[in-house]
Each structure stands twice: as C-alpha cells, then as structure tokens.
C-alpha cells in the first residue's frame, strides 16, 4: 500500500519536473539566462578581489577567499529562491494552475517538484561561475572541503523558505506580487553577512542578521578561511533556524493555499 503511494507521488513530482526540463532542453537562451547573472557577478567581484589583493598584501588570499566564497555561496541561495518562485510563476503565466490542481497532485508534491527544479536551475546557474572563479582567479570553492555540503544545503534551504513566502504572497495577491520573486532576497543581502561579519552591522540590526541562517553560514565560512576551523555552533544555528523558518513558511503556504481555494484564485490566477 505504502510503496505504490510513494511511487505515484514520485511520478507526479517527476511530471512537473519534466514539464520544466523540456523547456530548458529545447531553449538554449533559457539555459544561458540561468548562468548569466552568476557569471557576471563572479567576473565583477573576481576582478575587484584581484585589485584589492594587489594592494593589501599578505592577507589578500584570505580576503579574496572570503569575497569570492561569499559571492559564489550567496548565488546558491539566490538561484534556489528564484528557482522555486519563478517555476511557480511559470504555471501562473501559462494559466495552467487549474489543470494542475484538479489532478491528484498534492500541495506538498508541488513544493517538492519546485524544489527539485530549483536544484537543477541552481546547478546550471552556479557551476559555470564556480568554474570561472577557478580558471580566472585560481579560486577553488571545493577546497573548502566536505563542510561545503553543509554550507550549500543550508543556503539552499534558506532560498526555499524565502521562496515559499513569495509563493504564498503570489497565492494571496496574484501575479501582482511577482516582482518579489526577483527582489526579495536582495533586500536580505545586507543582513546576511555575506561579505562582512555580523559585528560590522549596527547593534540594532544584529538580531535580524542572526535570525537569518545565511549569516551563520558566512560566519562559518570566514572562520574556516581565517582559522581553519569549522564553527559548529554557527552550523547548528543555521540548521535550527532553517528548520524553524521552513516550518513557518510551510504553514504560511498551506494557509494561503487554502485561502486561495476559498476565494477561487486557483482558477483565475494569471488572467
């Protein structure tokens, strides 16, 4: 009984994933667009880091590592968040939600499919930038070691719960809220301590920064590059905060999904 249910769920998730993958298989401009911003960002910050390195001296390698590591890891969050939100918007724009939601697809399966799509989109977007950093600036992100997996998972998870919030707002306000899909994480960037430690921020906004898993991941990155140690305390905070935020975002999504079913928004959204 359980195994057929798992198989059916997996097939429904694959159905939605397939719907997005065929679009990318056919359209190289779409693939190019995914890698465009991460590539551009690493070019700008890579040359900036090279310039500072030529002036700063012996600490240059560590500072460059912090900067380039920050740029590449933050792209993981950005691309994961946009991957979920934009894939959902694709359904809204194509006025396909009515068909999707009268199928036996469960809401959690929709979210699982969106997360799977976001992982694919993130890899297509970020891997070329990682390769470029290695070729142009001899910066190897993988030299961070196995803890990189923990960093990446936490940053992806943050992208997912932020995008769940965005999808909830789209369910509430329709396509009018779509600008948030591109902009919301940029508003969190100053507080995520990507390029500088939390201690640099004014005391009043430090609690906000420390409530974001990304700030703990980037504190962990700096500790690793500066002292060669893994800041397990920060990692524990990042994991715990992500679990709490994911739970809260899932509750918000379920509440907005139900509200959309009460208002009839699933039929009219995108029109």
Under the binding rule (CB under 8 A), the answer on residue 262 touching another protein is: yes
Nearer to another protein, 18 or 47 (CB): 18
Under the binding rule (CB under 8 A), the answer on residue 264 touching another protein is: yes
Pick the binder of another protein from 40, 44, 62, 95 (CB under 8 A).
95
Greatest Cα pair distance, the chain, in angstroms, is 66
Query: For 185, phi and psi rounded to 5 degrees?
Result: -75, -30
Pick the binder of another protein from 44, 61, 99, 205 (CB under 8 A).
99
Pick the binder of another protein from 40, 44, 59, 106 (CB under 8 A).
106
Under the binding rule (CB under 8 A), the answer on residue 40 touching another protein is: no
Under the binding rule (CB under 8 A), the answer on residue 206 touching another protein is: no
Shortest gap between Cβ of 252 and another protein (angstroms)? Answer: 18
Task: Map the footprint of another protein across residues 11-30, applying CB under 8 A.
Answer: 11-12, 14-16, 18-19, 22-23, 26-27
Nearer to another protein, 94 or 199 (CB): 94
Nearer to another protein, 92 or 184 (CB): 92
Annotate each residue in 242-261 with x if it binds another protein (CB under 8 A) or - if it does not, as one string. ----------------x--x
Under the binding rule (CB under 8 A), the answer on residue 105 touching another protein is: yes
- Using an 8 Å Cβ cutoff, are 80 and 225 in contact? no
Under the binding rule (CB under 8 A), the answer on residue 172 touching another protein is: no
Q: How far is CA 68 from CA 133, 211, 239, 250, in A?
A: 8, 24, 23, 32
Nearer to another protein, 27 or 183 (CB): 27
Under the binding rule (CB under 8 A), the answer on residue 120 touching another protein is: no
Shortest gap between Cβ of 34 and another protein (angstroms)? Answer: 16
Q: How many residues bind another protein (CB under 8 A)?
A: 32
Q: Under the rule (CB under 8 A), what is the footprint of another protein?
A: 8, 11-12, 14-16, 18-19, 22-23, 26-27, 90, 94-96, 98-106, 258, 261-264, 266-267
């Amino acid at each position: 009984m359980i195994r057929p249910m798992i198989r059916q769920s997996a097939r429904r998730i694959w159905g939605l994933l397939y719907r997005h993958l065929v679009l990318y298989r056919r359209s190289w401009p779409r693939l190019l667009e995914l890698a465009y911003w991460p590539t551009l960002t690493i070019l700008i910050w890579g040359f900036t880091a090279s310039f500072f390195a030529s002036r700063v001296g012996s600490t240059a390698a560590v500072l460059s590592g912090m900067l380039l590591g920050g740029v590449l890891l933050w792209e993981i969050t950005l691309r994961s968040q946009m991957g979920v939100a934009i894939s959902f918007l694709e359904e809204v724009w194509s006025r396909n939600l009515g068909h999707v939601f009268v199928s036996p697809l469960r809401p959690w399966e929709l979210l699982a499919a969106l997360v799977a799509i976001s992982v694919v989109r993130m890899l297509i977007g970020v891997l070329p930038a990682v390769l470029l950093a290695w070729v142009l600036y001899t910066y190897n992100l993988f030299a961070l070691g196995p803890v990189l997996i923990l960093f990446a998972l936490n940053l992806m998870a943050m992208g997912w719960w932020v995008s769940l919030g965005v999808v909830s707002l789209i369910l509430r306000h329709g396509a009018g809220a779509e600008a948030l899909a591109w902009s919301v994480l940029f508003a969190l960037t100053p507080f995520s301590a990507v390029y500088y430690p939390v201690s640099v921020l004014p005391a009043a906004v430090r609690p906000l920064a420390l409530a974001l898993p990304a700030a703990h991941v980037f504190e962990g990155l700096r500790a690793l590059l500066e002292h060669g140690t893994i800041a397990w305390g920060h990692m524990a905070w990042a994991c715990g905060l992500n679990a709490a935020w994911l739970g809260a975002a899932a509750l918000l999504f379920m509440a907005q999904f139900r509200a959309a079913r009460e208002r009839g928004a699933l039929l009219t959204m995108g029109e």
